[in-house]
Copies of this chain bind each other. A is one copy, B any other.
Amino acid sequence: MKRLLITGAAGNLGKILREGLKGYADVLRLSDIAPMDPAGPGEEVVPCDLSDRSAVHELTKDCDGIIHLGGISVEAAFDDLLQANFLGTYNLYEGARKNGKPRILFASSNHAIGFHKRTTKLDDKSELRPDSLYGVTKCYGEALASYYFDKFDVETVSLRIGSCFEKPRDRRMLSTWMSPRDFISLMKAVFDAPMTGHLVMYGVSNNRTKWWSNDHAELIGWQPLDSSEIFRAEIEAAFPVEDRHDPAVIYQGGGFAAKGHFED
């Protein structure tokens, strides 16, 4: 792969991939609206506001693949999501369509299905039940990806990411955690796959508790190697036992499902 674009490169996930995908492509083109470290060898740093269509058009030129982490990744005011996530993702797909149709990894989220209970096993065909306006933007992104593949042959893997940090940060993440190492190997599996069409899959490590069946990840040969289990004792010592009547415990989306309207 010659050039791989990563949007949202200044964020947590972006930094993991900037480090982890070093050398995977000849050039990593790193983009964000926030400040980024200067380009190192094999890197291009291209600041870009995703709501600026012509800027995004330039950004997406000459890429063989796009990892779209950009936009807002937490609950936010609708007007902000409108620009960053609705408009931004559209601009990105238009850029891809006009610039050679590279495959896209769309960073969807477990918050697209966060209002399912933890006592329900999901798979890639489960009903969408977003737990936040943020989750709604991810449902939108998956629908847009479906459309761009069906009509324009732009391939996407819509990855419903659990919680990707160095280690789990609370008890819920013992179930939703995806290790940086697994995230990196997943990116490679996505771009190495001979074809993907539009596939929905879950981004989660091989944790002891499993909420999500992941057939589509198996189709492209991704096998997570890590498990949150090694952090269990530490996490359980640091966080109180969960209350099963707390909406943040009942629903897969955790705190996102539990909290009220962002602006209230």
Contact = CB atoms under 8 A, between A and B. Distances in A.
Interface of A: 78-79, 82, 86-87, 90, 94, 97, 112, 115, 117-121, 125, 127-133, 135-136, 139-140, 142-144, 146-147, 150-152, 155, 171, 175, 194-197, 199, 207-211, 213, 215-216, 218-221, 223, 241-242, 244, 249-250, 257, 260-261
Contact of A130 (B120, B143, B218, B219): B143
Contact of A115 (B120, B151, B155, B196): B151
A94 B261 CA distance: 10
Contacts of A94: 78
22 contacts: A86-B140, A117-B197, A119-B195, A119-B196, A125-B125, A125-B127, A128-B142, A129-B150, A130-B143, A130-B146, A133-B147, A136-B140, A136-B143, A175-B221, A194-B242, A194-B244, A195-B244, A195-B249, A195-B250, A207-B221, A210-B218, A210-B219
Contacts of A140: 86, 136, 139-140, 143
A131 B218 CA distance: 23
The 8 closest A-B pairs by CB, nearest first: A139-B143, A209-B221, A195-B244, A194-B242, A210-B218, A208-B221, A115-B150, A121-B215
